[in-house]
Amino acid sequence: MRDGYPVRMTRAAPPSPGVAPTLVGVASRAAAHPAVMWSAFVLVHLWLGRANFVGPSQPMGDVVSVYRTWMQQGVGGGDWVGVDRPWVYPLLAAVPMLLARVGGADHYGTAWLTIVLLLNAGALAVLTGWGRRNVAAGWWWIAFLAVLGPIALGRIDAVTVPFALVGLLLLGARPLLASALLTIGAWIKVWPAALVVAAVVALRGRSRRTVVSAAAVTTAAVVAISLVLGSGLNVVGFVGQQAGRGLQVESPAATPWLWRAASGVVGTYVYYDRQILTYQVEGDGVGFAARATTVVMALVVALVLLLGLRAVRLGASATRLLAPLSLAFVIALVVTNKVGSPQFVSWLAAPVVLGLVLSRRGGPSFVVPALVALVVAGLTQVVYPWRYDDLLAADPGMVALITVRNGAEVVLLGVALVQLWRVGSSAGRGADRAPQRRDGRDRGRRRGDQVRGDRSAAIMDA
């Protein structure tokens, strides 16, 4: 009763939808639109291209100085690296370097960036079906490129990543083509060979035999062409070129000597090796550590292989095994490598993208590896190119930052190894396998299981 009149009670109106959920929905729908994704892809590449030309520490230095000079020596003087003399890269690395000459000497860098742009565009088209599927994985890769920075485009590694990514995606539907692409990538720079090994371990039956055969035939073709060109043993010269290297300044193994240099320890410093064109650390014990990294790499890779074989023996499907096994192989090569160049981080894109795709189709979650990989990439960009001079001067702040970056790489290796163990364990508990009927149809079911094993990665059909 108010002022002598009864008060009418009314039900409170329901709260109106919040603005934040509405904005999230709009953003999600916009991100799912192919035009938005492709626009972001182009803008990121344009920004990375500009940063390669104007950024500090000459991010395009290897391309416009070293690669261009190598090709000029071949075209102008008949002195072809990898054929007439040993080379640090496998033979097919010369192909994109030679193609970049189409722009002429003055536009070599622009032509190189265009080649990488087209290769990445092809890989994104395969991954997303021109923006119609695997949208989250596509956006992650675009973000990864942006976070990694100029080095994502300005080295020969940038050419291998789209080959590796497409090869992994096609393993289930087209194992022959997939294996050929991965092997071609390995003959540009060696690291995709680890993905071939991962495929051989994870796949079964006819798919496994196809991968092995295609890799062997592709390798034989490359070696034959090289021998016809007159390379002789130079066709494998890249193996020996890596053997005598010291500890590159960015490698995890170099971290203790960076701290010694930052602390002013006499005889410990960073220097430029003019023979292999890179910065390395010098100090007591560096030679032993450089040799030890080779042993450590072999041991860690062997551990990854054993965990993969364990998962297969326990019945893990390729859908659950291939991505964590591929990531474990790749990050093992990064963490234990005495070279440790910043562009090595670009290798992570292929197994992480595969993991994100397969996590929506029965594979293990790849949220944690994807986030850690972004952290590694972001810290790597700060180190190179933006603060590289500070690192070379052993500035304590930059030594601390690269220590965190290297630690994040070790964490990522640990995550991959744990995932491998869990995949095997879950398969052993029967989580990866359908129950078997124990009746007269066992033989037929086993035959069907073998066919499904051959097609176990068919969900990667792109």
Which of 120-124, 299-303, 449-453 is the least confident region? 449-453
Query: Are 410 and 335 within 8 A, CB to CB?
Result: yes
Query: Are 146 and 173 within 8 A, CB to CB?
Result: no
User: Is the per-residue pLDDT at 105 higher than 50?
Assistant: yes
C-alpha of 163 from chain center: 11
pLDDT band at 434 (very low <50, low <70, confident <90, very high): very low
Say which residue, 12 or 157, is predicted with more confidence. 157
- Identify the bridge partners of residue 244 per DSSP, sorted by sequence position: none
Q: What is the mean pLDDT of residues 214-221?
A: 98
C-alpha dihedral sign at 379, 385, 387, 390: positive
Integer Cα distance of 39 and 42 in angstroms: 5
User: Is the per-residue pLDDT at 263 higher than 50?
Assistant: yes
Which of 22-36, 241-255, 350-364, 399-413 is the least confident region? 22-36
User: Is the per-residue pLDDT at 98 higher than 60?
Assistant: yes
Residues 6 or more apart whose CB falls under 8 angstroms from that of 40 comprise: 139, 142
The fraction of the chain above a pLDDT of 90, given in percent, is 80
Q: What is the mean pLDDT of residues 39-58?
A: 96
What is the model's pLDDT at position 383? Answer: 97
Q: What is the mean pLDDT of residues 172-184?
A: 97
Question: To the nearest 10°, the Cα dihedral for 380, 57, 347, 40?
Answer: 80
Tell me: the pLDDT tens digits for 12-33?
A: 455 555 555 676 677 778 788 8
pLDDT band at 461 (very low <50, low <70, confident <90, very high): very low
pTM for the whole structure? 0.89
What is the model's pLDDT at position 229? Answer: 94
Residue type, 164: A
What is the model's pLDDT at position 14? Answer: 54
Q: Which residue has the tokens 């592709």?
A: 218
Q: Which residue has the tokens 């003959």?
A: 187
The fraction of the chain above a pLDDT of 70, given in percent, is 88
On the question of a cis peptide bond just before residue 385, with omega within 30 degrees of 0, the verdict is yes
Across 9-163, the runs of DSSP E, i.e. the strands, are none
User: Is the per-residue pLDDT at 207 higher than 60?
Assistant: yes
Q: What angle (nearest 5°) sits at the alpha carbon of residue 127, between those of residues 63 and 340?
A: 40
What is the model's pLDDT at position 1? Answer: 44
Say which residue, 1 or 62, is predicted with more confidence. 62
pLDDT band at 453 (very low <50, low <70, confident <90, very high): very low
pLDDT band at 159 (very low <50, low <70, confident <90, very high): very high
What is the model's pLDDT at position 435? Answer: 39
Query: Are 164 and 182 within 8 A, CB to CB?
Result: yes
Q: What is the mean pLDDT of residues 325-345?
A: 97
User: Is the per-residue pLDDT at 437 higher than 70?
Assistant: no
Three-class SS of residue 266?
A: coil
Q: What angle (nearest 5°) sits at the alpha carbon of residue 40, between those of residues 39 and 41?
A: 90
Across 164-293, the runs of DSSP E, i.e. the strands, are 269-273, 278-282
Name the average pLDDT for the chain.
89
What is the model's pLDDT at position 274? Answer: 87
Element (H, E) at 207: helix 205-228
On the question of a cis peptide bond just before residue 96, with omega within 30 degrees of 0, the verdict is no
Which of 12-16, 21-25, 90-94, 320-324 is the least confident region? 12-16
What is the model's pLDDT at position 35? Answer: 94
Cα dist. 75→72, 117, 340 in Å?
5, 25, 31
User: Is the per-residue pLDDT at 268 higher than 50?
Assistant: yes
User: Is the per-residue pLDDT at 129 higher than 80?
Assistant: yes
* DSSP, res 81: B
Q: What is the mean pLDDT of residues 314-331?
A: 97
pLDDT band at 276 (very low <50, low <70, confident <90, very high): confident
C-alpha dihedral sign at 210, 214, 215, 217: positive
Take residue 229 and report the two structure tokens written for it. 């060109």
What is the model's pLDDT at position 448? Answer: 43
